[in-house]
Amino acid sequence: MSKKKTFTLEEAHNLLPILKSLLKKAMEARQRVRQNEKAARDLKHRILLSGGLLVDVAAAARNRAEVVKACQEIKDAAAEINAIGVQVKDLEIGLLDFPCLVEDEIVLLCWKHGEERITHWHGLDEGFAGRKPIDQRIANAKKNRQKPS
């Protein structure tokens, strides 16, 4: 069984530019999904209220195709982030967690879209509500290096 990837605080900071870009793509695509799904619900509601009405089938099909495309963009961006070893926790607020080995314990460096740097961490079972400021113990955590056998 392979070990899960962990990051030092410095490594996590160095990844932020690419992660910000991927997260922005996913969040924008999520917004497009919401807008297009709302348009589809509104159309359905108007049809129900009027007892039926003429529907622009081409526009409805374009709307549906945009939802499918945007959903794929979300999946692709999330897959790229996960492949790096970073956990996507919440696309609504843009929340990412970076596993970090601190004194033989895995903790999560926690970054939220809009923050300039990673300034908080939490335990595996604590989540966003349990965020604590980065302290010296976390800041000084070193990369776990395997010794050659």
84-120 pLDDT, tens per residue? 999 999 998 999 999 999 988 999 999 999 999 999 9
> 67 by DSSP, 3-state: which?
helix
Length of the chain: 149
Taking the C-alpha atoms of residue 18 and residue 38, their distance in angstroms, rounded to an integer, is 31
> What local confidence, expressed as pLDDT, does residue 134 receive?
95
> What local confidence, expressed as pLDDT, does residue 147 receive?
39
CA 87, chain centre distance (Å): 7
Mark the ranges of the chain whose per-residue pLDDT is less than 70. Answer: 1-3, 51-53, 143-149
> What local confidence, expressed as pLDDT, does residue 58 receive?
85
pTM above 0.85, yes or no: no
What's the Cα-to-Cα distance from 117 to each of 1, 19, 41, 53, 139, rounded to whole Å? 32, 12, 39, 52, 13
Contact assessment for residue 60 and residue 46, using Cβ atoms and an 8 Å cutoff? no
Taking the C-alpha atoms of residue 101 and residue 121, their distance in angstroms, rounded to an integer, is 12
